[in-house]
Amino acid sequence: MKIDYKKLGQQAIEIKANSYAPYSGYKVGCALLAKSGKVYVGVNVENAIYKSTCAEITALNTAITEGEREFVALAVSGGDGSAFALPCGLCRQILYEHNPDLEIVSITNDKAIQVKILKDLLPYAFTL
């Protein structure tokens, strides 16, 4: 599958506006591309009891709910968009279960793109 990194990244940037991050102030948007070709977006959702949900998990859970099981790429935009954002350790572990070769596409507001392979970001992942 040919992945349009800029298009996927742009979706991450745009959805970030819907982030609910009144505590950290660090907004995150992501766009998860399933093997089916559908894209599932997500934002981080914080709350007063500090049991927040990462944008990646919001997108993943929506996709799983819709019946998706295979994923090829995840674009992430975080903070003010000036630097490449990457999924946190928890998200790396959760995403790893679905595809260790998932392409992690970080995009800045200037549309600079960085692509990493998930298994390179999480050596020695926990597996059963």
Residues annotated as catalytic (active site), given as ranges: 56
Residues touching Zn ion, count (CB under 5 A): 3
DSSP structure class, residue 110: T
Using a 10 angstrom Cβ sphere, with 0-12 exposed, 13-18 middle and 19 or more buried, the burial of residue 52 is middle
Give me the least distance between CB of 44 and Zn ion, in Å please: 8
88 forms part of the interface with Zn ion (CB under 5 A): yes
Could you give the dihedral angle defined by the CA atoms of residues 62, 64, 68 and 69, in that order, rounded to the nearest 10 degrees? Answer: 140
Q: Which is nearer to Zn ion, 6 or 90 (CB)?
A: 90
Residues 52-81 that bind Zn ion (CB under 5 A): 54
| Site residues (vs Zn ion, CB under 5 A) | 54, 88, 91
